[in-house]
Amino acid sequence: MKRAARIAAMAAAAILLAAGGFFAGRSTQPAAPSTGMGPAAAASADDRTPLYWHDPMVPGPRFDKPGKSPFMDMQLVPVYADAAGDAGVKISPGVQQNLGMRTAMVKRTEVTSSFEAVGAVQFDERLSVAVQSRVSGYVERLAVRAPMEQVRKGQALATLFAPEWLAPQNELLALQRAGAAPDLVAAARDRMRAMSIPDALVQQSEATGTAQARFTLSAPSSGVVAELGVREGVAVSPGMTLFRIAGLAKVWAVAEVPEAQAVRLVRGQKVRAALQADPSQAFEGQLKEILPQISASTRTLQARFEVDNTAGRLVPGMLLKLQVAGATASRLVVPAEAVIRTGMRAVVIVRQEGGAFAPREVTLGADLGEQLEVLQGLREGDEVVTSGQFLIDSEARLKSVLGAMGAASPMPAAAAASAPVGVYRASGKVESADAGGITISHGPVPALQWPAMTMGFGKADAGAFAGIKPGDTVDFTFKGGGPMDWELVSVQKAGAAK
């Protein structure tokens, strides 16, 4: 009986084990089949090596080891070579259409340096002549009585009476009547010539046998009487200017040229001038002088153009519209609206081959109005965004595309972990130290986008960092605040134990 009972118990246990195995198998059927890879094998599935780690919320600083972000309560995220190399921002076609995003091709075009200006007509001072008295006397008759009166070359201007000329002429006539030696006659003629007695007046005296004291002043050139310095009956003296005649064969058109356009001016440039009141009347001319003075108030300089006025239609005070011809050159241009100016540099958004958009820094040349010349950064055929580029620029900044242009090498994770939020780390050389602060020539600070510079840092306590002296190479941390805007948190000589 005992044997039979034992056998029955064993059979019941076997049935229970079989049933348990059956139900256990049913409960595990939905699970994925085992691949034979343990946790270590799963961890090594991604065999890519991160380039660096960063905080996605503060993408500028880079770290060489994983760990907790010093800026946010989160772990650092690895960045791999394929992700780092993708410097573009991808935007779906629907979003591009909703934003009205437009693009334009970078092209090479023929650009002329010609420009327009407005010039005021003035007398050509080089054609101005003065009519002066060479002797003391009186104005007996004035033929030209008003300023700005037009005269022709050889026209009588005034009749002068010069009593001083009577004695030399009478002496000459007496020598001739007495049959004096030719040397004496020649000497008398030289004296009269020295007294500026006109040869025509001497010849008239010899022809009539009577000394002549009246003579007529004639216009030496054609033009207008710009200055009238005498009236009838007034006394004149040697060197006195009686008339000033301004020529009209050529006139000056003086234009105020903006400083930005003045660099294009070259002496000898051809100019086409037209009356502003009547554009159908055109004249030819050229640039003669660039006056070497810039107006501080208008930032312009004066350019003097010589314009042909043979017909005499131009008079001082008229306004001329000047078309200054310049050289033509092939230039690479981009629409002005495509350029994002950030103060120190200019950036455009370029569409890449894969459809992504990426910022690119460019060097600009001349401002051509609606277009800008590009000296560096773009090639002919590149496609740039002209509308909506600011959205792409903002997205690129979130991905640290623009920040990566000047980013430094990754900082050690240990240094990042030891730097609290708002505290920055740098290294440099101490230039001076006193109770108020320490001046340090330090390297770049990527977290603040600072270049290498020399600046002063304040101290929380006048007695702090007493062992630091000029010439020491130090590693230091600092934060914002204090009377000098930036305050030292710690300063250690380079190589000292942390």
pLDDT of the residue at 106: 93
> What confidence tier does 368 reach under pLDDT thresholds 50, 70, 90?
confident
Residue 15 has pLDDT above 50, yes or no: no
Extended beta strands in 80-155, E state: 102-105, 107-112, 115-123, 129-132, 137-142, 150-151
pLDDT bin (cut points 50, 70, 90) of residue 406 is very low
Token reading at 180 = 């004096």
Contact 359, 341 (CB under 8 A): no
Rounded Cα distance between 358 and 351, Å, is: 7
On whether the CB atoms of residues 464 and 493 are closer than 8 A, the answer is no
Transcribe 144-212 into DSSP letters.
Answer: --STT-EE-TT-EEEEEE-GGGHHHHHHHHHHHHHT--HHHHHHHHHHHHHTT--HHHHHHHHHHTS--
Please determine, for residue 371, whether its predicted confidence score (pLDDT) is greater than 70: yes
Section 447-465 average pLDDT: 83
Residue 114's pLDDT band, with cuts at 50, 70 and 90, is: confident
Average pLDDT for the chain: 79
For residue 429, CA distances in Å to 38, 77, 443 come to 52, 34, 9
Residue 121 has pLDDT above 80, yes or no: yes
The predicted pLDDT at position 72 comes to: 67
Cα–chain center distance at 30: 72
Position 393 pLDDT exceeds 80 = no
Q: What is the mean pLDDT of residues 120-142?
A: 91
Work out the pLDDT band at 399, boundaries 50, 70, 90: low
Q: What is the pLDDT of residue 25?
A: 40
Using pLDDT thresholds of 50, 70 and 90, give the confidence band for residue 496.
low
* Residue range 393-421: mean pLDDT, rounded: 49
CATH for the stretch 125-246: 2.40.50.100
Q: Which of 262-266, 374-378, 397-401 has the lowest mean pLDDT?
A: 397-401
pLDDT at 4 (0 to 100) = 43
Among 299, 355, 364, smallest CA distance to 332 is for 364
H or E stretch at 232 = none
| Spans of all domains in the chain | 93-110+330-398, 125-246, 419-493
Q: What is the rounded CA–CA span in Å between residue 45 and residue 34?
A: 16
Topology annotation, domain 419-493: OB fold (Dihydrolipoamide Acetyltransferase, E2P) (2.40.50)
The tokens for 161 are: 């009476």
Which backbone phi and psi does 388 adopt, to 5 degrees? 95, 5
Residue 207 predicted with pLDDT over 90: no
Q: Each residue of 41-58: pLDDT tens digit?
A: 433 445 667 777 877 666
Which pLDDT score, from 0 to 100, does residue 391 have?
67
| 212 closest CA partner among 223, 224, 198 | 198
Per-residue pLDDT tens digits for 133-178: 888 899 999 999 999 999 999 999 999 998 888 888 888 888 888 8
Q: What is the pTM of this model?
A: 0.47
Instruction: Give the pLDDT of residue 84.
Output: 47
Q: Which residues of 277-290 are buried (b: 16+ CB within 10 A; e: fewer)?
A: eeeeeebebebbee
Six-digit token string for 328? 């033509």
- Ranges 273-287, 294-308, 397-411, 421-435: which has the least confidence: 397-411
Protein fold of 93-110+330-398: 2.40.420
Rank 82-86, 484-488, 493-497 by mean pLDDT and report only the highest: 484-488
**Residues near 328 by Cβ (< 8 Å), separated by ≥ 6?**
110, 111, 112, 113
Choice among 71-80, 139-148, 273-282, 437-446 with the minimum mean pLDDT: 71-80
The pLDDT value given to residue 37: 42
Q: Is there a common fold for 93-110+330-398 and 419-493?
A: no
Integer Cα distance of 172 and 187 in angstroms:
9
For residue 396, the model assigns a pLDDT of 58
Rounded mean pLDDT of 320-340? Answer: 86
Q: Name the DSSP letter for residue 404.
A: G
Question: 116 and 303 in contact (C-beta within 8 Å)?
Answer: no
Q: What pLDDT, on a 0 to 100 scale, did the predictor assign at position 81?
A: 56
Range with lowest mean pLDDT among 14-18, 57-61, 70-74 = 14-18
Q: d(Cα 365, Cα 372) in Å, to the nearest integer?
A: 7
Higher pLDDT, 342 or 2: 342
Least confident of 97-106, 117-126, 294-303: 97-106
b/e per residue 7-41 (b: at least 16 CB within 10 A): eeeeeeeeeeeeeeeeeeeeeeeeeeeeeeeeeee
Q: How far is CA 170 from CA 306, 334, 451, in A?
A: 50, 86, 95
Percentage of the chain exceeding pLDDT 70: 78
- Summarised one tens digit per residue, pLDDT across range 219-269 is 999 999 999 999 998 999 998 999 999 998 999 999 998 887 777 788 888
Q: What is the pLDDT of residues 462-485, one digit of tens each?
A: 888 888 999 999 999 988 877 777
Q: Which value, in Å, is the radius of gyration of the alpha carbons in the chain?
A: 48
Q: Is the pLDDT of residue 100 over 70?
A: yes
Average pLDDT for 18-32? 40
**Helix, strand, coil percentages for the chain (3-state, nearest 5):** 25, 40, 40
Q: Is the pLDDT of residue 461 over 50?
A: yes
Instruction: State how far the alpha carbon of 494 is from the alpha carbons of 411, 415, 437, 465, 478, in Å.
Output: 16, 14, 19, 14, 16
Q: What are 454's strand-pairing partners?
A: 441
> Is the pLDDT confidence value at 352 over 90?
no
Please report the pLDDT score of residue 175 as a whole number. 87
**Confidence label for 117 from pLDDT (cuts 50, 70 and 90):** confident
Q: How far apart are CA 464 and CA 487, in angstroms?
A: 12
